[in-house]
Amino acid sequence: MPVDLPMAATVQTVERTSESPRLRVGERLRVLLAHREILLNLVRKELKVKYAASVLGAVWSLLNPLVFLLVFTFVTKVLGTAIPSYPVYLLSGLLAWNLFSASLGAGARSVLDNANLVKKVAFPREILPLSAIGVALVDYVLQSAVFLAFILVSGYGFHVPELALLPLAFVTLLAVTAALTFWLAALNVRYRDVGHLLQIALLVWFWGTPIVYAGALVQRRLAELPLVWELYLLNPLATTIGGLQRSLYGVVERDGTAVLFEVSLGWLAAALVAVLAASVVLLRLTWGYFFTRSGDFAEEL
Amino acid sequence: MSGAPAIEVDQVSKRFRVFREKPTSIKQRLLTSHSRAEDLWALREVTLDVREGSTFGLIGHNGSGKTTLLKCIAGILRPTSGTIRQRGRLAALLELGAGFHPELTGRENVYLNASFLGLSRKQTDAAYEDIVAFAELEDFMDNQTKFYSSGMLVRLGFAVAVHVDPDVLLIDEVLAVGDEAFQAKCIDRVRAFQREGRTIVLVTHALDTVREICDRAAMLHHGRLHALGAPDDVVREMRYVLLGVTDPGFVPEEGTREVEIAEVHLVRANGASEGPVLRGDPLTIQVDVRTNTPVHDLDVDVAVLDGATNHPVLDARTSRAGIDLGRLDGKKRVRFKVPAFPYQPGKYWVTVGLSSRETGHLYHVQTQRYLFEVVDAPRVQERVEVPVQTEVEDL
């Protein structure tokens, strides 16, 4: 008989009332951990579906940054560019941006797209936006592997003290991404405008972040307008992506051209810690919002 | 089976706000006043409990709130008021093959679906062979499910569903899929779940299933608990409602019990009191009575109702037959013999009553307590010589 007694010993009583559930982080993390199988399976499913009936499959994910690197290497050789080693500069920010925007885009749709599951199956709803992040993360890791290999093979090389910033910047990026994804996913159930609005917001945000242009350029232009400069720095992605660029691109100035924000490594690390702390607080808030709202998802879809 | 409640539903109401056109954008929400929303009460102050290890049937016609109640218990919906307490691990089968994706193979879908039902990867590994065998899809597991027929999908979905390992299992109408053989297999699985001591809540339209496998049942009517009790009684009440005879005062059993109905047997032609009755066969309604205090004016009567129309087709009583049971103290057996039951195949209900011949006072009545089914005699084609004329004609 498959009735396992150890489980019976820890029989839990669940009480459901009209009260909106309140998020208790530790308890909820245990619940999510117990349901990790669903998360892994959903991510696996998304990846399989994405590359279903394609011969090369995940190779397409790798090809994307590779072509980027080759094209830009070639173009900058022929045409020249304002930023030295432009391919390395571009990808050190762009891959992170892709992770961010893909997570937000798919995350905002995640509950709506799975309406049927939400209406018919009881499982922790957080898994839906988390799986959107998970899918973007897999792409990010694959593409980063190509990028890191390029840095090594092309002879660009790593810059050691700066590289230490990578884990901090990456975790900060994840925290920002998760906080916003939870918020958008829950909001989109009630207001379907969110999806449209997000497209526009992401476009503005992309150009408000130093990814294709040099951060140092902005800093110099805004040197006489400290208030605007501070506003610009309020963009958490400017700091986060700035941190990733600093750790991978490595130098603030190359060939006499200022590229990255002209700040000390310590200042950048402190800024990242501040953004991380703010993001964690925000994540707690948006997760709480998502959790409270999730009790009504089945009804509102 | 401790008999403690696995599920307690306490004064649960559920209100849905129905918008003529649901505002799903900010503009609409700003322009739409909330007063345009209409309230729809899917559940109204429902109170019931399901004992651990028992099987509970939930019936009611479409829109009566069965599925809403199940979703509230499962935690998919939040009650508007009231409390639900539920003990132990729960799995809800509200839909077969939840999360199935057509681009994935059968195998991948099994793992995905199983995780939604709370099975770990290890548990799914262990059950995988069983699942495939149950679905009878051994040769198709590496094909994408978009190439499956709808029947294959249903089988695969159910095969995963029956391998779940919860303490409490909620099943919504999913037993009603597949052909007869597959349904029988499903019922077998439910019985196995029962033997393993699991608590089961079953929502279904199949009233016979409720009578067969449930320990208790409840009927919902327009969101209210209309009947709660033994499956036979609740099903009978459901039949009244289905026929449009809403009878809130329905009493399955009444009387002052000076004399009681001890046992009733519907004896078929072969002497058995189970199984179908062949149309045109004899049928004996055998009523055993037992006195609690001696009576002298007992009248025993039986009535047979057509289950499809609820119309009486036959009735008989001892007084009309000119039988005086006299002073009665102890037990007595009365047989009403129908030499050939003439009516159409179908289900028939039997009501048995004990009353006073003189005053009409009711000692004991069991309304539509007993059921039998009439079937047509199987056709037997005997081979006989049939003359055949053979002709040839020029065209």
Total structural domains within chain B: 2
Chain B touched by A301 (CB under 8 Å): no
Mean local confidence (pLDDT), A102-124: 92
Question: Do B80 and B208 reside in the same domain of the chain?
Answer: yes
Question: Do B212 and B352 reside in the same domain of the chain?
Answer: no
- At A178 the pLDDT is 97
Please tell me which of the candidates B24, B98, B103 has its beta carbon nearest to residue A121: B98
- At A6 the pLDDT is 41
Test mutation, A114, A116, A121, chain B, max B CBs within 10 A: A121
Shortest Cα distance from B129 to chain A (angstroms)?
16
Q: Which residues does chain B have within 8 Å of residue A4's beta carbon, measured at their own beta carbons?
A: 165
CB contact under 8 A, A12 and B167: no
Confidence at A9, pLDDT banded by 50, 70, 90: very low
pLDDT tops 70 at residue A10: no
- How many contacts (CB atoms, under 8 Å) link A and B? 121
* Structural domain contains residue B188: no
| Nearest residue in B to A45, CA atom | B104
Test mutation, B77, B108, B191, B194, chain A, max A CBs within 10 A: B77
Test mutation, B9, B76, B146, chain A, max A CBs within 10 A: B76
Higher pLDDT, residue A96 or A62: A96
Mean local confidence (pLDDT), A234-263: 90
Shortest Cα distance from A171 to chain B (angstroms)?
28
Test mutation, B112, B162, B164, B196, chain A, max A CBs within 10 A: B112
CA distance A27 to A87: 45
Max Cα distance, chain B (Å): 90
Q: Which residues does chain A have within 8 Å of residue B197's beta carbon, measured at their own beta carbons?
A: 1, 3
* Structural domain contains residue B387: no
Question: Do B353 and B342 reside in the same domain of the chain?
Answer: yes
Shortest Cα distance from A101 to chain B (angstroms)?
22
Q: Which residues does chain A have within 8 Å of residue B167's beta carbon, measured at their own beta carbons?
A: 3, 7-8, 11
Question: Do B287 and B363 reside in the same domain of the chain?
Answer: yes
Test mutation, B29, B116, B117, chain A, max A CBs within 10 A: B116
| Nearest residue in A to B94, CA atom | A120
* Structural domain contains residue B139: no
> What string of H, E and C letters represents the secondary structure of chain B?
CCCCEEEEEEEEEEEEEECCCCCCCHHHHHHCCHHHCEEEEEEEEEEEEEECCCEEEEECCCCCCHHHHHHHHHCCCCCCEEEEEEECCEEEECCCCCCCCCCCEHHHHHHHHHHHCCCCHHHHHHHHHHHHHHHCCHHHCCCEHHHCCHHHHHHHHHHHHCCCCCCEEEEECHHHCCCHHHHHHHHHHHHHHHHCCCEEEEECCCHHHHHHHCCEEEEEECCEEEEEECHHHHHHHHHHHHCCCCCCCCCCEECCCCEEEEEEEEECCCCCCCCCEECCCCEEEEEEEEECCCECCEEEEEEEEECCCCCEEEEEECCCCCCCCCCECCEEEEEEEECCCCCCCEEEEEEEEEEECCCCCEEEEEEEEEEEEEECCCCCCCCCCCCCCCCCCCC
Q: Which residues does chain B have within 8 Å of residue A193's beta carbon, measured at their own beta carbons?
A: 25-27
Confidence at A38, pLDDT banded by 50, 70, 90: very high
Other Cβ atoms closer than 10 A to A238: 21
Per-residue pLDDT of chain B (395 residues; tens, 9 = 90+): 456 789 999 999 999 887 666 666 666 666 655 556 678 889 999 999 999 999 999 998 878 899 899 999 998 999 999 999 999 888 888 877 777 888 889 999 999 999 988 888 999 999 999 999 988 888 999 998 889 888 888 888 888 888 888 889 898 876 666 677 777 888 888 899 999 999 999 998 888 888 888 999 999 988 899 889 999 888 888 877 766 554 545 566 778 888 999 889 999 988 888 888 888 889 999 999 999 889 988 999 998 887 766 677 888 888 888 888 888 888 999 999 999 888 888 888 888 889 888 888 888 888 777 888 888 877 666 777 888 888 898 88
Shortest Cα distance from B75 to chain A (angstroms)?
6
In angstroms, what CA-CA distances link B185 with A288, B159, B181?
44, 10, 6
* Structural domain contains residue B354: yes
Q: Which residues does chain B have within 8 Å of residue A8's beta carbon, measured at their own beta carbons?
A: 88, 167
Q: How is residue A235 written in tokens?
A: 């963009």
Residues in chain A: 301
CATH of the domain at B46: 3.40.50.300
Q: Which residues does chain A have within 8 Å of residue B71's beta carbon, measured at their own beta carbons?
A: 298
- At A5 the pLDDT is 39
Question: Do B243 and B268 reside in the same domain of the chain?
Answer: no
Please tell me which of the candidates A38, A48, A296 has its beta carbon nearest to residue B115: A38
Question: Do B84 and B216 reside in the same domain of the chain?
Answer: yes
Please tell me which of the candidates B24, B84, B104 has its beta carbon nearest to residue A192: B24
Say if CB A144 and CB A245 are below 8 A apart: no
Q: How is residue A263 written in tokens?
A: 């700040």
Say if CB A234 and CB A64 are below 8 A apart: no
Please tell me which of the candidates A18, A37, A123 has its beta carbon nearest to residue B121: A37
Please tell me which of the candidates B76, B86, B95 has its beta carbon nearest to residue A14: B86
Among the residue ranges A179-183, A229-233, B173-177, the one predicted with the least confidence is B173-177
Question: Do B266 and B213 reside in the same domain of the chain?
Answer: no
CB contact under 8 A, B79 and A16: yes
* Structural domain contains residue B351: yes
Mean model confidence pLDDT for chain A: 88
Q: Which residues does chain A have within 8 Å of residue B27's beta carbon, measured at their own beta carbons?
A: 193
CB contact under 8 A, A1 and B196: yes
Please tell me which of the candidates B84, B111, B165 has its beta carbon nearest to residue A16: B84
Q: Which of A242-256, A264-278, B256-270 has the highest mean pLDDT?
A: A264-278
End position of a domain, from candidates B250, B283, B306: B250
Question: Do B40 and B69 reside in the same domain of the chain?
Answer: yes
Q: Which residues does chain B have within 8 Å of residue A123's beta carbon, measured at their own beta carbons?
A: 116
Say if CB B366 and CB B264 are below 8 A apart: yes
CA distance B239 to B367: 13
Chain B touched by A42 (CB under 8 Å): yes
CB contact under 8 A, A16 and B29: no
ipTM of the complex in this document: 0.82
CB contact under 8 A, A49 and B79: no
Confidence at A250, pLDDT banded by 50, 70, 90: confident
- At B181 the pLDDT is 77
Mean local confidence (pLDDT), A259-270: 90
CA distance B231 to A233: 69
Query: Residue holding tokens 């999806």?
Result: A195
* Structural domain contains residue B395: no
Question: Do B234 and B270 reside in the same domain of the chain?
Answer: no
Question: Do B323 and B369 reside in the same domain of the chain?
Answer: yes
Residues in chain B: 395
A residues 187-246 closer than 8 Å to B (CB): 190-193
CB contact under 8 A, B29 and A191: yes
Mean local confidence (pLDDT), A172-186: 97
Please tell me which of the candidates B24, B29, B101 has its beta carbon nearest to residue A45: B101
- At B177 the pLDDT is 63
Tell me the helices (H) and strands (E) count for chain A, helix number first.
15, 3
Question: Do B211 and B335 reside in the same domain of the chain?
Answer: no
CATH of the domain at B324: 2.70.50.60
* Structural domain contains residue B155: no
CB contact under 8 A, B84 and A17: yes
* Structural domain contains residue B123: no
CB contact under 8 A, B198 and A15: no
Question: Do B329 and B218 reside in the same domain of the chain?
Answer: no
Domain interval for residue B317: 253-375
What percent of chain A is modeled with pLDDT above 70? 96
Shortest Cα distance from A263 to chain B (angstroms)?
42
